[in-house]
Structure 1
């Protein structure tokens, strides 16, 4: 019986909170609040907390609707 690693099916780009905050121009505190309210997932690696950049892009980046009607 072979075991498959679910993480191998979806490669993640786990980065420290400080790097993700700089990339998205938000504070580390904002990311910690989003993890606490369930908007994004945080991953503990040892004692460190990491976030997935792809997941942040999906959950934090929001398209602003145009005010013009077509």
Structure 2
């Protein structure tokens, strides 16, 4: 799992995996898969089993991906 560890408590700028799932309209399992694949960075709260995701990382995931012109279409 692509996790970092933090000593800090989870402030409101961090979301639980369930909150991320609800915001994105996907399942908790899908969020966990995103974290495991490195699509969505997550942070484990040191000394606990809590996993949190920065709101800014969720917002970045929602940004459209620019499409570039690949040249001539056949």
Same-fold call, TM cutoff 0.5: yes
TM-score (norm 1): 0.64
Aligned pairs for 1:1-70 within 5 A: 13-45=13-45, 46-58=48-60, 60-63=61-64
CA distance 1:12–1:39, shift in 2 (3 Å): farther
The structure carrying a bigger helix percent of its residues is 1
Aligned length: 54
Structure with the greater relative contact order (CA < 8 A, sep ≥ 6): 1 or 2? 2
Task: Return the alpha-carbon distance in structure 2 between the equivalents of residues 26 and 48 of structure 1.
Answer: 20
* Unaligned residue ranges in structure 2 (runs of 5+): 1-10, 67-74
RMSD: 2.1
* Unaligned residue ranges in structure 1 (runs of 5+): 1-10, 66-70
Once superposed, which parts of structure 1, at least 4 consecutive aligned residues long, lie more than 3 Å away? none
The structure carrying a bigger strand percent of its residues is 2
TM-score (norm 2): 0.61
